[in-house]
A = this chain, B = another copy of it.
Amino acid sequence: MGTQVNRRIVLASRPRGKPGPECYREDREAVPEPADAEVVVRVRWLSIDPTIRGWMERDTYLPAIPVGDVIRSGGAGEVLASRRDDIPIGTRVFGMVGWQDYAVLGADTPVLPIPEGISYEDALSVYGITGLTAYFGLEDIGKPRAGETVVVSGAAGGVGSIAGQIAKLRGCRVVGIAGTDEKCDWVVDELGFDACINYRTEDVDARLGKLCPDGIDVYFDNVGGEILDAALAHINLHARIPLCGAISTYNDTEVASGLRNIRNLISQRGLMQGFIILDYQERFLEAILQLGTWVADGKLVSRVDVVDGLSQAPAGLSRLFDGDNIGKVLVAVDEP
């Protein structure tokens, strides 16, 4: 393996505002050998998630990526070399591979075999962090009950599209919020949402009032900022707000305007709670079994938004912040 080359996209500088080309540098190194209990994975797919932006900038729930290190990222591929008895060469696995052709996993980072019959794309979307995030945020914090009204922002994104479908499966009225008519059409026509608001062309506050005549019981928030504030203005008694992400604010260098409607949480006895999927590891099996059953029954649709080539990973991340993606953004890693 010493003759092969590992292309890596490393963090060149920390982003201020939207990450630009100055944040990335592509370098090449020899493919590492596995140490004891490690495997080397030939990376085939990368999972592109908004949280990567945070890791590039600062310590959050994980330490910041050190400048000069490969960009941290989930992904999947097949085992090329192994010093673990339980994971033979050729096994398809997923884990935190980083933006590179070859990843060493196993010592500090989990290496999870992908069951037969599950595609890489599904492993990284509906059965990956994306699906699990939607599942636990909605089920554990949102606790939707049949007949309730659930609003989902980032409705056409990886997490939002699944969260909204789960809410439908729970018997709720579901209103999405997304940034293009194409996205809105998709979540209504293909995913079965009851309605969708285009936040770029419509008055979100007024439309929420119209589309949620009985108020909002659960607001699954992927975006933060003004849309969260608009949703807060319409919450019902004992409303639940899972805070999944705040993508509208991640590139802010200063916070423009903050939340103004927090007081509604008091009068409505509302709950707003952040969560991180890492906290739910003990219950991943439960979620994957449930999600898998829904997928097998044709009740849950997962869509991926594929960007071709390792060098396009930064462009893939930009797609999230520009709102260009429909479904989960993945990078199909090419040959070096």
Chain A residues within 8 Å of B, Cβ to Cβ: 54, 60-61, 224, 228-229, 243-246, 249, 255, 257-260, 262-276, 279
Q: Which residues of B contact A275 (CB under 8 A)?
A: 266, 269
Q: Are A265 and B258 in contact (CB under 8 A)?
A: no
Q: How far apart sit A142 and B265, CA to CA, in the bound complex (Å)? A: 15
Q: Which residues of B contact A260 (CB under 8 A)?
A: 255, 258
Q: Which residues of B contact A60 (CB under 8 A)?
A: 267
Q: Are B224 and A263 in contact (CB under 8 A)?
A: yes
Q: How far apart sit A274 and B272, CA to CA, in the bound complex (Å)? A: 9
Q: How far apart sit A274 and B279, CA to CA, in the bound complex (Å)? A: 24
Which of A61, A267, A276 counts the most B-chain CB atoms under 10 A from its CB? A267
Shortest beta-carbon distance, A160 to chain B, in Å?
15
What is the chain B residue whose CB lies nearest that of A254? Answer: B260
Q: How far apart sit A264 and B184, CA to CA, in the bound complex (Å)? A: 30
10 further A-B contacts with Cβ under 8 Å, apart from A243-B262, A264-B274, A271-B274, are: A61-B267, A246-B262, A249-B263, A255-B260, A259-B259, A262-B272, A265-B272, A267-B276, A271-B273, A273-B273
Among candidates B257, B266, B274, residue contacting A258 with C-beta atoms closer than 8 Å: B257
Q: How far apart sit A241 and B29, CA to CA, in the bound complex (Å)? A: 48
Q: Are A272 and B269 in contact (CB under 8 A)?
A: no
Shortest beta-carbon distance, A60 to chain B, in Å?
4
22 A-B residue pairings within 8 Å (CB atoms) = A54-B267, A61-B267, A61-B269, A228-B262, A243-B266, A246-B262, A246-B263, A255-B260, A257-B258, A258-B258, A259-B259, A264-B274, A265-B272, A265-B274, A266-B274, A266-B275, A269-B273, A269-B274, A269-B275, A269-B276, A270-B274, A271-B272
What is the chain B residue whose CB lies nearest that of A221? Answer: B266
Q: Which residues of B contact A270 (CB under 8 A)?
A: 273-274
Q: Are B245 and A266 in contact (CB under 8 A)?
A: yes
Q: How far apart sit A60 and B255, CA to CA, in the bound complex (Å)? A: 29
Q: Are A229 and B243 in contact (CB under 8 A)?
A: no
